[in-house]
Amino acid sequence: MAEQLTPMEMAQSQLKAAAEKLDLDKGVLEMLLEPQRVVIVRIPVKMDNGTTRVFTGYRSQHSDAIGPAKGGVRFHPDVSLDEVMALSFWMTFKCGVVGLPYGGGKGGVAVNPKELSQAELERLSRGYVRALYDVLGSEKDIPAPDVYTNAQIMSWMMDEYSVIRRYTDFGMITGKPIVLGGSKGRSEATARGVVVTTLEAIKKMNMHISDATVAIQGFGNAGSVAANILYNLGAKIVAISDSKGAVYSENGLDPKALEKHKDETGSVVGFLGGRDIAGGELLELPVDILIPAALEKVITEDNAPYIKAKIVAEAANGPTMPKADEILNKNGVLVIPDILCNAGGVTVSYFEWVQNNYGYYWSEDEVNSRLTEKMQDAFFSVWQMSTEYNTDMRTAAYMVAVKRISEAIKLRGWV
């Protein structure tokens, strides 16, 4: 039977494994096991029909030892306190492993945005900022897009914050449109980071991308962009799934043609260039690279023994359960952990914040070059830690991050 862990319990177990390897100071561990600050707010929104609905919003700030909190805001019916706490936790270590001057933050509103008009969505977005104004800002906590939020919502939030401050503050939020201080290359950044770390892993496994077969679970922004980049590098994309099912072809799929089919039909299912398979079957295909790019907790102790991929590149947050991790490691599967693999998004968000702060903006080539360098350096640090301590890549990634954060906590005199 699969493990029944909450996202927060998963995150804490991963930290404890790294802390044990490092013989971490107990005071530091206690500080990092829970967020420093969690805020719950109630947001009244005047609906188009004249009634008022009240929504619950959250913001979790896990750590500001190294810098301001950083992390997305999601609008989703299932947003909960435990979820945003765990996601802020993971963001701290994601920023730490890549060496960004941030701690982790995460927020959200329990709402189905598809049920709101554009005007109602704007009022909710502005209400979120008004309710949390005191704990947000370019030197405190910098939000970004997440599930069911986008550049338009970031624009409304930035504007509301600026209205309250009485001057425009682009740097208080990232993921904005280019004209409002957004960074070129941001929309593809998460996927590019996944590809960069995957290419580094391929080298370590003495493989070549042109010989590699790939299965991708999830065909949203990260999954589709990664599919196209890898396809253009010569990889064979043999399977792709979305929330409605999966499609497979041993001869390879053309991601662009599949995108067109999904735009026309609403799903990858029924694509003439392949045959439909069950979504769960995709995870167990005999491929070189498996990219879970959709949901949390999809690789469990039940299916992990049947995963045949040589590399699992975690584009999604928390896709692998702890006991599944043990099985994959025992079976010689190289797992590129989420806090490393999908850190490209927050890295380019950092670039956006930097550009906002000094008012000079980079070309897309420069952004992508800096991103590649950051991700390669981070992979090397984790690989070195893994080798030095003879441990798996996830534990090593946490160790890299924890060492940096622990040093900052001690230097500041908190412990």
- C-alpha R_g of the chain: 21
Element (H, E) at 106: strand 103-110
Task: Give which of 326, 314, 246, 319 is closest to 278, Cα–Cα.
Answer: 246
Are the C-beta atoms of residues 173 and 144 closer than 8 Å to each other? yes
| DSSP of 2-26 | -----HHHHHHHHHHHHHHHHT--H
138: which residues sit within 8 A by CB, 6+ positions away? Answer: 68, 169, 171, 172, 353, 356, 357
Scanning 71-220, the segments in alpha helix (DSSP H) are 81-98, 118-132, 151-165, 189-204
Q: Which residues pair with 239 in a beta bridge?
A: 215, 248
Element (H, E) at 161: helix 151-165
Q: Which among 21, 26, 94, 106 is annotated as catalytic? A: 106
Give me the phi and psi of 104, to 5 degrees please: -95, 140
Spatial separation of the C-alpha atoms in residues 109 and 42, rounded to whole Å: 9
* Residue 272: alpha-carbon gap to chain centroid: 32
Spatial separation of the C-alpha atoms in residues 382 and 392, rounded to whole Å: 9
Catalytic status, residue 106: yes
The helix-helix angle for 393-411 and 81-98 (nearest 10°) equals 90
* Residue 305: alpha-carbon gap to chain centroid: 25
Are the C-beta atoms of residues 334 and 197 closer than 8 Å to each other? no
The one-letter code for the residue type at 1 is M
Q: Given CA atoms 145, 151, 154, 156 in this order, what sign does their dihedral have?
A: negative
CA angle at 290 for the pair 289 and 293, rounded to the nearest 5°? 135
CA distances from 85 to 28, 157, 198, 339, 394 (A): 18, 21, 28, 15, 20
Helix (H, G, I), strand (E, B) or coil at 189: helix
Spatial separation of the C-alpha atoms in residues 43 and 131, rounded to whole Å: 7
Indicate which residues carry an active-site annotation. Answer: 106
